[in-house]
Amino acid sequence: MQGLAIQERKESIFTKGEQRNTLTCDTDSISGSVSQRACVYCGARVVLNPITDAIHLVHGPIGCASYTWDIRGSLSSGEELYRNSFSTDLREQDIIFGGEKKLTQAIDDLVTKYHPPLVFVYSTCIVGVIGDDLEAICKAASLKHQIEIIPIESSGFIGNKSAGYRAACEGLLRLIKNQPNPIPPKEKNTLNLLGDFNLAAETWIIKSYLERVGIKLNVTLTGDSSYEQIKKTPIASLNIVQCAGSMIYLAEKLKEEYDIPYLRISFIGIEDTIASLRKIAAALGDEQIIKNIEKLIRKEQEKTWPVIDYYKHKLQGKKAAVYVGGGFKAISLIKQFRELGIEVVIVGTQTGSQAEYQTIGDLVQQGTVIFDDTNPAELENFIIDKGADLLVGGVKDRPLAYKLGTAFIDHNHDRKHALCGFVGAENFAKEVYSTVCSPVWKAIRTGGMTE
Amino acid sequence: MLDGTPKKIIERHSGGVINPAKTCQPIGAMYAALGLHGCLPHSHGSQGCCSYHRMHLTRHFRDPIMASSSSFTEGASVFGGGANLKTSIKNVFTIYNPDIMAVHTTCLSETIGDDLNSIVQSAEIPEGKIVLYANTPSYVGSHITGFSNMTKGIINQLAESTLEEPKEQVTILPGFVNPGDMREIKRIVKKMDIDYVMLPDTSGVVDSPMTGEFVMYPKGGTTVEEIKDSGNSQITLALGSFASADPANALDKKCGVPAKVLHTPIGIKATDSLLMALSKSFVREIPYDLEEERGQLVDIMTDTHFHFHGKKVAIFGDPDIVISLTEFVLSLGMKPVHVLTGTPGKSFENEINKMLTEAGIEGNVKAAGDLFTLHQWIKNLPVDLLIGNTYGKYIARAEDIPFVRIGFPILDRSVHSYLPVVGYKGAIRIIEMISNALLDRADRDAKDEDFELVM
């Protein structure tokens, strides 16, 4: 296999049934590979960007701000400030003499213009090298403007995307811990949703389920959240964590500092949605909520299964490849594809943990290829070798899949429909069908103009 | 949506940017390198840079964009990235086996002072393979500067003058345009029956056909032989001064090929200039086919001029494109009252101001501007049409203005990269886009009694 020419990569790939069930993960990408991974800044930015009323100021040359301008796909029910792109646009002079003065002025300009309650200042690669003291500048500006201005240490080279998630969580924690007034007591049956970013309105779907059974969603970190809401984080009696890769650290910290227990949940696929709802009910221990949740599950299933079965009939026996950011999502997707009669034959993640790969290994059939991080050459070989009909991936994988004549679904920022909960399962089934069974593939396979 | 932009213009002191109209050098370098045959662009910096550039280019072209990264870690930023680059060179040729690896720097590798020349000189490069490089600090210029620097680097490292007398051949530097534009320029040069080298040439690379297979190095791109041979040309036509003047001058300096800098051939006047330059340099008659196309364009301009006359337009984007577009809309009788580029450069302002003065139009003109500024201008002096890249959609929505997408990037529409905006055909296409935008709006807004069948 051409892709395996990188010796170091061998430790990061295995085939179930053929080799030992462990693989190396959470390593840095190899120099010279066409890695799909992003950087620390990217990790921090994607986690914090959905905070709607904050100014997200990128301290660095223009690129980092340009590429992240409104690409998150997270929706807001209120402010739209987060959809702008703010940069200090560092120039050569600033690299030589330092960018501190420019940063201070940029904060002054933006605060005067927009009067935000909150500013995040992201450091980029170059800031880590020229040594601007972000902490000191943000502190001074904060005093001057009497609002919170939080530095995010996200220089690109200090780690991978996971390090950026951590930096974002540190920023959130700072915001949560800085409480001008005493924190009100915890509220019963009130929870926070961590690691959901309201892509295609997904937070709102989860929120509607919770409200229907009598649970109050206090704040979502960070989908459709605001400064005021985030401040109220400590009043919840339970945290539920959807995207664990980005938020488990914060969940741990909130448990330590505020004694809020947390549950890992996943609203991807019917099986995991039901399991998650029951887990939440059990954790809250409220008889009425338990009853309500069972009723909701019954009602939603009545609507959803006929739709799923309709598509299952058409999709039975197809094979899928999954390459997503986190391990937990990969696990849910394997189960969800089974609901549609589809086996996952290739599965990989960018930031999965050892334990998650173990679970994946237990879940999949013999012969399934499992890998940590990848490059296009490898991915191509896997898809061809395993005869996958569909790839679930991110932006850069879409045209690659299409070129191979393989159907594609974006389960990342470019998703077009909500993919969580019961309604998300219906959307997912419809989307899988519309791409796998599209007539366009016939144009390739019927081989051109020879009659 | 982004209607938070205030009408009142308060001076900004920081030099910071709100809603950029440019991006950084490395992505331009990556795009230029994709225009070489069998080339893998390589980003010497953190892996995020490479990831972002590939993502952005993927969204614009909707084709696989391959590039590798040095994947800097903390160690590299302290001890220099030399070791990362040498490992990268080894791995790239072992795994991906390109003919050429084209390395560009990033703000990080520039600031820690990696000397690409000495690193590449001392690296082990397999027999017959080529490693090119260009310095593309993100904190200077814009993506257009990066495109220009990579093109210059390619010329400096590969072009050769091997003949006593130059060949009857033109070297065409197309600038940062779509593959559809490059194809159209080549078609025109072929119609003129002139041999050419186009550098770079992304056609057949980022608009490659569907075959059911993924090809890492598609058929297109300027070959090494062609790049070498560019030094034997009789003349270089640099299309667009921002993207192409520097590399053209480099070819003159290195191989003595005289450079002529023209506008990007968008619109009737700029296309005429290209044809006249070819015709004069190579003593060729303009073939009837091209005369016919020009005649059709003029016919269409006259057929439609009443839709355009006096309409106020705002144009933004990359400098070479915006200069030519401004010239073209003036020739249609429109009034470009706001003209802006994110790329720094006084010559942009001078050139646009000269055009506006000649046309007797007072307008706002700015280089190194941002879309916040453009939006404020529009709030203070509304326009009938906005022309620019995808990011204009926020302003178009907030102000309810018809919007025509031309430039880079276009992330929310497809097909744009396959069809030209250059040449007479491209000008006809632009007229179609503008008049459709204006007339669709007129239809949408017309009261029942004003709604007309014939327009």
Same domain, B254 and B189: yes
Best mutation site among A62, A395, A410, A438 for testing chain B: the one with the most B CBs within 10 Å?
Answer: A62
- Cα Rg for chain A, rounded, in angstroms? 23
Same domain, B430 and B309: yes
First to last CA, chain A: 36
Chain B 360-399, residues with CB within 8 Å of chain A CB atoms: 391, 394
| β-pair type (A390-393, A407-410) | parallel
Write down which residue in A125, A151, A177 finishes a domain. Answer: A177
Same domain, A212 and A130: no
Say which of A37, A129, A443 has its CB closest to residue B47. Answer: A37
In whole angstroms, how far apart are CA B237 and each of B28, B181, B245, B259? 20, 15, 9, 6
- CB–CB of A63 and B23 under 8 A? yes
State how far the Cα of B385 lies from the Cα of B334, in Å rounded to an integer: 10
Best mutation site among B40, B42, B69, B124 for testing chain A: the one with the most A CBs within 10 Å?
Answer: B69
Same domain, A255 and A173: no
Say which of A31, A110, A126 has its CB closest to residue B88. Answer: A31
What pLDDT score does A3 carry?
43
What lies within 8 Å, CB to CB, of B113 at 6+ separation is: B80
- CB–CB of B111 and A92 under 8 A? no
| β-pair type (B259-262, B235-239) | parallel
Minimal CA–CA distance to B228: which of B161, B152, B133? B161
Same domain, B217 and B317: no
Q: Could you tell me if residue A16 is inside a domain?
A: no
User: Quick one: tokens of A270?
Assistant: 């019917």
Write down which residue in B268, B284, B300 finishes a domain. Answer: B284
State how far the Cα of B416 lies from the Cα of B62, in Å rounded to an integer: 10
What pLDDT score does B396 carry?
97
What pLDDT score does A195 carry?
94
Complex prediction ipTM = 0.95
The structure tokens 């051949």 sit at: B169
What pLDDT score does B414 carry?
95
| β-pair type (A13-15, A54-59) | unpaired
User: Quick one: tokens of A147?
Assistant: 């609002």
What φ, ψ does residue A328 adopt, rounded to 5°? Answer: -65, -40
Same domain, B358 and B385: yes
State how far the Cα of A259 lies from the Cα of A282, in Å rounded to an integer: 18
**Closest-approach residue (CA) in chain A for B91:** A32
Which residues in chain A have their CB less than 8 angstroms from residue B1's CB? 80, 83
Which residues in chain A have their CB less than 8 angstroms from residue B42's CB? 32
Same domain, B226 and B297: no
Same domain, B426 and B379: yes
Q: What is the domain extent for residue B49?
A: 25-158
B216 close to A (CB below 8 A): yes
If you count residue pairs, one on A and one on B, with CB atoms under 8 Å apart, how many are there? 261
Q: Could you tell me if residue B19 is inside a domain?
A: no
Number of H helices, E strands in chain A: 18, 14
Write down which residue in B119, B134, B158 finishes a domain. Answer: B158
Same domain, B255 and B380: no
Q: pLDDT in tens for each of the 455 residues of chain B?
A: 567 788 888 878 788 999 999 999 999 999 999 999 999 999 999 989 999 999 999 999 999 999 999 988 877 777 889 999 999 999 999 989 999 999 999 999 999 999 999 999 999 999 999 999 999 999 999 999 999 999 999 999 999 999 999 999 999 999 999 999 999 999 999 999 999 999 999 999 999 998 888 899 999 999 999 999 999 999 999 999 999 999 999 999 999 999 999 999 999 999 999 999 999 999 999 999 999 999 999 999 999 999 999 999 999 999 999 999 999 999 999 999 999 999 999 999 999 999 999 999 999 999 999 999 999 999 999 999 999 999 999 999 999 999 999 999 999 999 999 999 999 999 999 999 999 999 999 999 999 999 999 98
Which residues in chain B have their CB less than 8 angstroms from residue A102's CB? 14-16
Q: Could you tell me if residue B164 is inside a domain?
A: no
CATH number at residue A111: 3.40.50.1980
Residue A363 identity (one-letter amino acid): L
Q: Could you tell me if residue A283 is inside a domain?
A: yes
Q: Could you tell me if residue B16 is inside a domain?
A: no
Q: Could you tell me if residue A196 is inside a domain?
A: yes
Which residues in chain A have their CB less than 8 angstroms from residue B216's CB? 376-377
Q: What is the domain extent for residue A217?
A: 190-295
Helix (H, G, I), strand (E, B) or coil at B1: coil
- CB–CB of B77 and A404 under 8 A? no
Q: Is B273 exposed, middle or buried (0-12, 13-18, 19+ CB in 10 A)?
A: middle
Number of domains making up chain A: 3
- CB–CB of A31 and B91 under 8 A? yes
Which residues in chain A have their CB less than 8 angstroms from residue B112's CB? 129
Provide the shortest C-alpha distance from residue A192 to chain B (in Å).
27
Tens-digit pLDDT profile for residues B375-399:
999 999 999 999 999 999 999 999 9
Same domain, A218 and A323: no
Which residues in chain A have their CB less than 8 angstroms from residue B395's CB? none
State how far the Cα of A161 lies from the Cα of A158, in Å rounded to an integer: 10
- CB–CB of B73 and A28 under 8 A? yes
Same domain, A45 and A119: yes
Q: Could you tell me if residue A388 is inside a domain?
A: yes
Give me the residues of chain A with pLDDT under 70, please.
1-8, 19-28, 36, 445-451
Q: Could you tell me if residue B40 is inside a domain?
A: yes
Same domain, A45 and A173: yes
What pLDDT score does A451 carry?
47
Same domain, B178 and B129: no
Chain B 238-297, residues with CB within 8 Å of chain A CB atoms: none
Provide the shortest C-alpha distance from residue A87 to chain B (in Å).
5
B92 close to A (CB below 8 A): yes
- CB–CB of A67 and B212 under 8 A? no
User: Quick one: tokens of A299?
Assistant: 């009602």
CATH number at residue B229: 3.40.50.1980
Provide the shortest C-alpha distance from residue A127 to chain B (in Å).
9
Say which of B1, B20, B213 has its CB closest to residue A65. Answer: B20
Same domain, B61 and B145: yes
Say which of B13, B64, B76 has its CB closest to residue A109. Answer: B13
What pLDDT score does B41 carry?
98
What pLDDT score does A376 carry?
78
Same domain, A405 and A322: yes
Q: Could you tell me if residue A274 is inside a domain?
A: yes
Q: Could you tell me if residue B11 is inside a domain?
A: no
What pLDDT score does A7 carry?
61
Residue ranges in A146-269 assigned as alpha helix (H): 161-177, 202-212, 227-231, 244-258
Same domain, B336 and B404: yes
DSSP letter at B113?
A: T
B97 CB neighbour count, 10 Å cutoff: 16
Same domain, A142 and A264: no
What pLDDT score does A12 carry?
78
Number of domains making up chain B: 3
Which residues in chain A have their CB less than 8 angstroms from residue B62's CB? 398-399
What pLDDT score does A450 carry?
53
- CB–CB of B111 and A38 under 8 A? no
What pLDDT score does A229 carry?
96
Say which of B23, B42, B85 has its CB closest to residue A66. Answer: B23
Q: Could you tell me if residue B20 is inside a domain?
A: no
Same domain, A272 and A385: no
Torsion of CA B430, B436, B437, B441, to 10 degrees: 160
Same domain, B60 and B118: yes
Same domain, B82 and B104: yes
Write down which residue in B158, B187, B222 finishes a domain. Answer: B158
Q: Could you tell me if residue A285 is inside a domain?
A: yes
